[in-house]
Amino acid sequence: MTKLSIRTMLRRVIMEVTPQNWPDAVLDDLINVAYHSTQKEVMKVDPEAFLEWVRRDIVLNKSDYPKPEGSWWPNQVRLKNSTTGKYDRLVFKPFDEAETWTDGNVWSRRGNYIWIFPTPSANLTDGIEMIHVPTLTLAADTDIPVVPLGLHMAIVYVSKILALGETYQGVDKDRTLIADLMGDLSMYYWKTGGEGYTFQPDIIKPFGYQGS
């Protein structure tokens, strides 16, 4: 479903097909709040479901770099190797420890900034790679939520509750429907549907083995 089709469905369930009390812009805001709520429920099952990679330039003598706009939290921070071009994962340290660190590069988080220590001594294009969780939004009417189709109706009904408030007569019924729609999140977000990792002990004994 696109944002347009979600809004159309939302108008049906709030019984206002022609805009009167709820202009499209208001419903769009409610849809994005509901999308955010759906993202939160998914991340309870799979915190890495929506990871995004963002790169920033390293600036000489600058340790602090703003997190990507709308970022929930960083998952990893990596530093570009100027020789190989590859990104090496940095170890996280508490800020008070990181700012005096001298044994290789580390990163820390304070406020809305990612901090790199020791302070970079040269400029480097795309020198920092941040793997983080963004806030999911639907901007254009053609945008499609990046959650399974089975959860799109949850966005509709969470939006309905937000629009009508929690005092309308059918709120409990809608909450039950939302719970049913989100009840199988673990099925949607298995790490793999096929080749899961299994423990396989080595039972082949080396040549000359004398044990039992």
Please state the domain extents for the chain. Answer: 3-46+157-183, 52-132
* Strands, sheet with 74-80, edge to edge from the N-terminal-most edge strand: 52-58, 124-132, 74-80, 87-89
- Collapsing DSSP to helix, strand or coil, 206 comes out as coil
Instruction: Please give the structure tokens belonging to residue 6.
Output: 């979600």
Q: What is the helix (H) or strand (E) element at residue 89, kind and residue range?
A: strand 87-89
> pTM, whole model, 2 decimals?
0.81
Through-space distance between the first and last CA atoms of the chain, rounded to whole angstroms: 62
pLDDT tens-digit readout, 138-161: 999 999 999 999 899 999 999 999
pLDDT of residue 72 exceeding 70: yes
Q: Pick the residue with more confidence: 195 or 62?
A: 62
87-130 residue pLDDT tens: 999 999 999 999 999 999 999 999 999 999 999 999 999 999 99
Tokens matching residue 39: 């993202």
